[in-house]
Chains A and B, each alone.
Chain A
Amino acid sequence: SQTIHQWPATLVQPVGSPLSLECTVEGTSNPNLYWYRQAAGRGLQLLFYSVGIGQISSEVPQNLSASRPQDRQFILSSKKLLLSDSGFYLCAWSGGATGELFFGEGSRLTVL
Chain B
Amino acid sequence: GENVEQHPSTLSVQEGDSAVIKCTYSDSASNYFPWYKQELGKGPQLIIDIRSNVGEKKDQRIAVTLNKTAKHFSLHITETQPEDSAVYFCADTGTASKLTFGTGTRLQVTL
Asked if B97 is at the interface (CB within 8 A of a chain A CB), the reply is yes
A106 to B36, CA, bound (A): 15
Q: Are B101 and A99 touching (Cβ within 8 A)?
A: no
Which among A49, A90, A103 is the interface contact of B98 at CB below 8 angstroms?
A: A49
Q: Chain B at the A interface: mostly helix, strand, loop or mixed?
A: strand
One of A13-21, A40-48, A68-76, A79-87 at the interface: A40-48
Which among B41, B44, B93, B104 is the interface contact of A99 at CB below 8 angstroms?
A: B93
Question: B84 CB to closest chain A CB, in angstroms?
Answer: 19
Question: B88 CB to closest chain A CB, in angstroms?
Answer: 11
A86 to B104, CA, bound (A): 19
Asked if A101 is at the interface (CB within 8 A of a chain B CB), the reply is yes
In B31-81, which residues have CB < 8 Å from any A CB?
Answer: 32, 34, 36, 41-46, 49
What residues on B are CB-neighbors of A108 within 8 Å? 41
Measured CB to CB, the nearest residue on chain B to A4 is: B43
Binary A-proximity of B81-111 (CB < 8 A = 1, otherwise 0)? 0000000010001000111111110000000
Binary B-proximity of A89-101 (CB < 8 A = 1, otherwise 0)? 0101000001111
Question: B6 CB to closest chain A CB, in angstroms?
Answer: 8
What residues on B are CB-neighbors of A22 within 8 Å? none
Question: B73 CB to closest chain A CB, in angstroms?
Answer: 16
A101 to B43, CA, bound (A): 11
Q: Are B43 and A104 touching (Cβ within 8 A)?
A: yes
What residues on B are CB-neighbors of A99 within 8 Å? 32, 93, 97, 99
Q: Are A98 and B41 touching (Cβ within 8 A)?
A: no
- Given A43-B89, A44-B89, A106-B41, the answer on whether A101 and B104 have CB atoms closer than 8 Å is no
